[in-house]
Amino acid sequence: MAADGAAPPVALRVDGGLCVNDWAMQFLADMLGVPVERPVVTETTAMGAAYLAGMATGVFPGLDGGLDGLAEFWQRDRRFEPAMSEDERAIRYEGWHDAVRHVRTAVET
């Protein structure tokens, strides 16, 4: 359980231009410590617009019955499993914090 009592995520689903970069998706999975799932259709924003147009014209059912009808269109292309150790993750995360501190210091001066 997370600190707020919520269950931790079982996976992160991604979309957009960056998600086609295998290295970036693996790094994201490693740093988050959860699997990352990339869909077959990486531009799901455009797909969402098409679904809305389809619902408006009656091609797809409305949201009254829930999102089950639309969810069946999502298909996974690849799943990236975390492979980084907790120690390595902590070292890299601290390095990121150091970089942010340096940038903030440079901007403030």
Give residue-wise pLDDT tens across range 41-71: 998 888 888 888 888 888 877 666 555 566 7
Which amino acid appears at position 88 of this protein?
E
The reported pTM is 0.76
- Rounded CA separation 26/82 (Å): 7
Q: What is the pLDDT of residue 2?
A: 65
CB atoms within 10 A of CB 85: 10
- Those residues whose C-beta lies under 8 Å from the C-beta of residue 36, and which sit 6 or more positions away, are 11, 12, 13, 14, 25, 26, 28, 29, 79, 80
User: Tens digit of pLDDT for each residue in 72-83?
Assistant: 778 999 999 999
CA Rg, the chain, in Å? 19
